[in-house]
Structure 1
Amino acid sequence: MRILIAVHGYPPEHNGGAERRAERTARAMAERGHEVAVVCIQTDNAEHTDLRITHSLQDGIEVWRMAFNGGANPDPLRWSYDHPELGAAVGRVIDAWHPELMHLFSGYLLGASTVDAAVARRVRVVIDLTDYWWHCHRINLLTPLGKRCDGPSQAGCARCHAEQHRRFRLPAQLSPHNADMAWSLVQPDNLLGPMLGLPAQASRAARLQAALAKADVLLAPSQFLADFYQRHGTNGKRMCVWRQGVELTQCPLRTNEATLRVGYLGQVKPHKGVDLLIEAWKKLRGTQPRRLEIYGSAAGEPDYERQLSQELAQLPDAAWHGTYQGSGVWDVLAGLDVVVVPSRWVENSPNSILEAQAVGVPIVGTKLGGIAELVEHNRNGLLFAVDDPNELAQNLQRLLDEPELLPHLRANAMPFLAHQAAMDRLEGLYQQLTRQQTPASNNERTSAHERNWGDTATPCHTSR
Structure 2
Amino acid sequence: MTGKELAKKDVAKKEPAPKGSTARDKRVLIISHGHPTFSLGGAEVASYNLFNGIHDLPGWESFYLARVGPPVNRHKDSALMSLRQKEREILYYANDYDHFRCSNKNLPGLRQDFVRYVVDLQPDVINFHHFLGLGVETIFALKQALPRVPIVVTFHEYLSICHHHGQMVKTSRNTLCYKSSPAECTNCFPHIPESQFFKREAFLKTFLEMADYYISPSEFLIDRYVEWGLPREKFRMIENGLTVEDIVPPRPLPKAGRRNRFGFFGQVTEFKGLHVLVEAVSRVSEKDWGDDSALMIFGGNLERQPEAFQKKFNELTEKAGNRVRFYGSYRSSELPSLMKDVDWLIIPSIWWENSPVVIQEAFLHGRPIIASNIGGMAEKVTHNVDGLHFRNASVEDLVDRLTDVLRTPDLWDRLRARIKRPIDRRECARRHSEVFDALLAGKASEETSARAVSAQGTQVLDRAVAQPL
- Shift of the 357–51 alpha-carbon distance from structure 1 to 2, 3 Å rule, reads farther
Name the CA distance, whole Å, in 1 between partners of 2:236 and 2:117.
28
Shift, 1:51, TM fit: 11
Name the CA distance, whole Å, in 1 between partners of 2:168 and 2:445.
35
Q: Give 2:453's aligned residue.
A: none
Contact 2:67 2:93 in 1 (8 A): yes
Name the CA distance, whole Å, in 2 between partners of 1:328 and 1:45.
23
Q: Give 2:354's aligned residue.
A: 348
For the pair 1:105 / 2:129, whether they are aligned, the reply is: yes
Where do residues 266-281 of structure 1 align in structure 2 (5 Å cutoff)? 266-281=266-281
Name the CA distance, whole Å, in 2 between partners of 1:432 and 1:51.
39
- Shift of the 341–81 alpha-carbon distance from structure 1 to 2, 3 Å rule, reads farther
Q: Residue type matched to 1:39 in 2?
A: L
Shift, 1:159, TM fit: 3.8
Q: Give 1:177's aligned residue.
A: none
Please, which of 285, 296, 301 is the counterpart of residue 298 of structure 1? Answer: 301
For the pair 1:209 / 2:205, whether they are aligned, the reply is: yes
Name the CA distance, whole Å, in 2 between partners of 1:422 and 1:412.
22
Contact 1:295 1:320 in 2 (8 A): yes
Alpha-carbon displacement from aligned partner over 1:418-459 (angstroms, at most 9, x marks no partner): 222111222232233234436989xx9xxxxxxxxxxxxxxx
2:433 is paired with a residue whose SS is helix
For the pair 1:284 / 2:284, whether they are aligned, the reply is: yes
Q: Give 1:20's aligned residue.
A: 45
Shift, 1:64, TM fit: 3.3
Q: Give 2:317's aligned residue.
A: 312
Identify the range of structure 1 (58-67 vs 345-354) with the bigger mean alpha-carbon deviation: 58-67
Alpha-carbon displacement from aligned partner over 1:66-92 (angstroms, at most 9, x marks no partner): 232336xxxx63363776346534322
For the pair 1:241 / 2:246, whether they are aligned, the reply is: no
- Shift of the 62–438 alpha-carbon distance from structure 1 to 2, 3 Å rule, reads farther
For structure 1, the 5+ residue unaligned runs are 163-167, 169-195, 445-464
- Shift of the 208–302 alpha-carbon distance from structure 1 to 2, 3 Å rule, reads closer
1:63 is paired with a residue whose SS is strand
> If the length of structure 2 is used for normalisation, what is the TM-score?
0.79
Name the CA distance, whole Å, in 2 between partners of 1:55 and 1:369.
37
Q: Give 1:153's aligned residue.
A: 181
Contact 1:51 1:85 in 2 (8 A): no
Name the CA distance, whole Å, in 2 between partners of 1:111 and 1:344.
27
Q: Give 2:103's aligned residue.
A: 80
Where do residues 14-413 of structure 1 align in structure 2 (5 Å cutoff)? 14-32=39-57, 34-43=60-69, 53-56=79-82, 58-70=85-97, 77-78=100-101, 80=103, 84-85=107-108, 87-88=110-111, 89-120=113-144, 121-122=146-147, 123-137=149-163, 138-145=165-172, 146-162=174-190, 196-257=192-253, 258-259=257-258, 260-285=260-285, 286=287, 288=290, 289-299=292-302, 300-301=304-305, 303=307, 304-314=309-319, 315-413=321-419
Contact 1:82 1:112 in 2 (8 A): no
Shift, 1:95, TM fit: 2.4
Shift, 1:414, TM fit: 3.2
Identify the range of structure 1 (196-205 vs 265-274) with the bigger mean alpha-carbon deviation: 196-205
- Shift of the 157–84 alpha-carbon distance from structure 1 to 2, 3 Å rule, reads farther
Q: Residue type matched to 2:92 in 1?
A: R
Contact 2:50 2:428 in 1 (8 A): no
Alpha-carbon displacement from aligned partner over 1:43-84 (angstroms, at most 9, x marks no partner): 278999x9961222621114031232336xxxx633637763
For structure 2, the 5+ residue unaligned runs are 1-25, 451-469
Contact 1:87 1:116 in 2 (8 A): no
Q: Residue type matched to 2:238 in 1?
A: W
Name the CA distance, whole Å, in 2 between partners of 1:8 and 1:427.
22
- Shift of the 224–159 alpha-carbon distance from structure 1 to 2, 3 Å rule, reads same
Q: Residue type matched to 1:363 in 2?
A: I
2:101 is paired with a residue whose SS is helix
Q: Max radius of gyration: which structure? A: 2
Name the CA distance, whole Å, in 2 between partners of 1:86 and 1:197.
31
Contact 1:83 1:113 in 2 (8 A): no
